[in-house]
């Protein structure tokens, strides 16, 4: 936390540079941050609502597209953190070897850049929310809290696993291989409340992806407070604490070895 605060200006500038680098050379530039998610959402909406007829309106009258977007837009952030954030040190080797830059802050660069894209997508989600005829209400106060919590949690994941990935490429390959199963098994495109098998519910309760997807849907679509689902909140709290402890342990053990490995 101290390193991130002291290097906050550099982190901010490098985060913007990361976004510029991603959009460089494309005619539509930053438009691709919206076009690719839009195509992704359309395919799932068409397949699930039009093809499989799984869509249903909520008690408030909100259509299925809002339910889908409320879960899948946060997934875009988590997907990037799983696929790239967990191996971010290989993305910025010059910051490790050539520039005196805190290793823990390198994860913050990518997390901040990814969160900036997520904030832009959140603007789109709010636009969809209002276009669906939904009013401003108190449940939306959960959204900024969830964004901060999502940033902190996945930044911790990035710090821990990027150092492990720097030491062993097998870690990065394993995590990236798990990205697709995590998507399909975490409730991103199905309602976890429809699963009534106790052991499956117990596993989902300790899945951070399930927590964030359910929490955003509670705010935008279901109009409930996330803490009403006590099992999910307790499970995420336990995972959050374990991740924090694990991150500190890995950082203390490997931070001095990473520059030599890279």
pLDDT, tens only, 136-154: 899 999 999 999 999 999 9
Average pLDDT over residues 112-131: 92
**pLDDT grade for 193, boundaries at 50, 70 and 90:** confident
In angstroms, the CA 109 to CA 127 distance is: 28
Query: Does the structure show a pLDDT above 70 at 244?
Result: yes
**Mean per-residue pLDDT of the chain:** 84
Query: Does the structure show a pLDDT above 70 at 258?
Result: yes
Kindly list the domain boundaries of the chain, sorted by start residue. 2-261
Question: How many angstroms from the chain centroid is the CA of residue 10?
Answer: 23
User: Which tens digits make up the pLDDT trace of 12-69?
Assistant: 888 887 777 776 655 556 676 777 787 777 777 777 666 555 555 555 566 888 888 9
End-to-end CA gap in the chain: 24
Query: Does the structure show a pLDDT above 80 at 116?
Result: yes
In angstroms, the CA 65 to CA 67 distance is: 5
């Amino acid at each position: 936390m101290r390193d991130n605060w002291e290097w906050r200006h550099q982190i901010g500038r490098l985060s913007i540079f990361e976004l510029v680098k991603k959009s460089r050379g494309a005619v539509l530039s930053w438009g691709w941050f919206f076009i690719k998610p839009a195509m992704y959402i359309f395919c799932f909406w068409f397949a699930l609502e039009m093809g499989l007829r799984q869509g249903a309106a909520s008690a408030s009258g909100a259509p299925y597209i809002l339910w889908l977007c409320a879960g899948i837009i946060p997934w875009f952030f988590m997907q990037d953190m799983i696929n790239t954030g967990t191996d971010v040190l290989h993305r910025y080797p010059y910051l490790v070897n050539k520039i005196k830059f805190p290793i823990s802050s390198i994860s913050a660069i990518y997390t901040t850049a990814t969160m900036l894209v997520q904030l832009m997508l959140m603007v789109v989600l709010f636009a969809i929310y209002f276009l669906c005829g939904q009013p401003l209400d108190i449940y939306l106060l959960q959204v900024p809290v969830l964004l901060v919590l999502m940033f902190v949690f996945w930044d911790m994941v990035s710090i821990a696993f990027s150092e492990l990935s720097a030491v062993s490429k097998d870690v990065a390959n394993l995590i990236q291989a798990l990205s697709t199963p995590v998507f399909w098994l975490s409730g991103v495109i199905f309602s976890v409340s429809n699963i009534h098998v106790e052991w499956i519910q117990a596993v989902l309760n300790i899945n951070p992806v399930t927590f964030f997807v359910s929490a955003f849907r509670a705010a935008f679509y279901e109009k409930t407070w996330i803490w009403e689902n006590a099992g999910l909140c307790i499970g995420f709290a336990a995972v959050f604490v374990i991740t924090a402890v694990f991150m500190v342990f890995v950082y203390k053990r490997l931070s001095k070895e990473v520059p030599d490995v890279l």
